[in-house]
Homo-oligomer: A and B are copies of this chain.
């Protein structure tokens, strides 16, 4: 009998939870190959048959683990998000005063920008954020989470600030940060750098004098 146990362990939502070691490895191989293919020519051009062939498995096997093409993308997206969340949480963890916040945020943006520049797969995936409803939801949740972390740091710096406003403002700052990254990587490198600096300055002013 083929009883399907649909589980949502990651945002990607695997179809069948891999139980045996063989299949767990297989899932990793699928993700690795998908990554390579996306890096080569973008997630749009990535064909499921290519992924299967490259991973040395059949189409059917591919669909045992991922319900659709989007699920592979989402799983990769989620992994990048988790990495980003850790990075942001660590960067803001011991912010206690205004200068600390200014420095930590500036560094954070730089690191994030460097990641965007260095990871073509991340770039590609988050370029499609607006198109795919599921991806957009993942993205919004991510910004909410990171926004909350930023809001907490800002509250530590300025305890008398309005909590709700800090949350909204920080959420917006995170979303605009992503927008800036996407913009920066789609123009010439030099202009991109300037744009990121402009964003940083604008946001820092908002946070410092807000």
- Are A182 and B140 in contact (CB-based, < 8 A)? no
- Are B199 and A202 in contact (CB-based, < 8 A)? no
Complex-state Cα separation, A26 to B45, whole angstroms: 33
- Are A206 and B202 in contact (CB-based, < 8 A)? yes
Secondary structure type dominating chain A contacts: helix
Give the residue of B127, B130, B195 whose beta carbon is less than 8 angstroms from that of A168. B195
- Are A140 and B187 in contact (CB-based, < 8 A)? yes
- A186 contacts the other chain (CB 8 A): yes
Which residue of B has the minimal Cβ distance to A168? B194
Which residue of B has the minimal Cβ distance to A143? B183
Within 8 A of B (CB), among A170-210: 171-172, 175-176, 178-180, 182-183, 186-187, 191, 194-195, 198-199, 201-203, 205-206, 209
Q: A127-B131, A175-B180, A205-B205 are in contact. List 4 more A-B contacts (CB 8 A).
A: A128-B131, A129-B130, A169-B198, A202-B202
The 3 closest A-B pairs by CB, nearest first: A179-B179, A131-B131, A130-B130
Q: 29 interchain pairs (CB within 8 A)?
A: A44-B131, A127-B130, A128-B130, A128-B131, A129-B130, A130-B130, A131-B131, A131-B132, A136-B186, A140-B187, A168-B195, A168-B198, A169-B198, A171-B195, A172-B180, A172-B195, A172-B198, A172-B202, A175-B179, A175-B183, A176-B179, A176-B180, A176-B199, A178-B179, A179-B179, A201-B206, A202-B202, A205-B206, A205-B209
Binding site for B on A (CB under 8 A): 44, 127-132, 136, 140, 168-169, 171-172, 175-176, 178-180, 182-183, 186-187, 191, 194-195, 198-199, 201-203, 205-206, 209
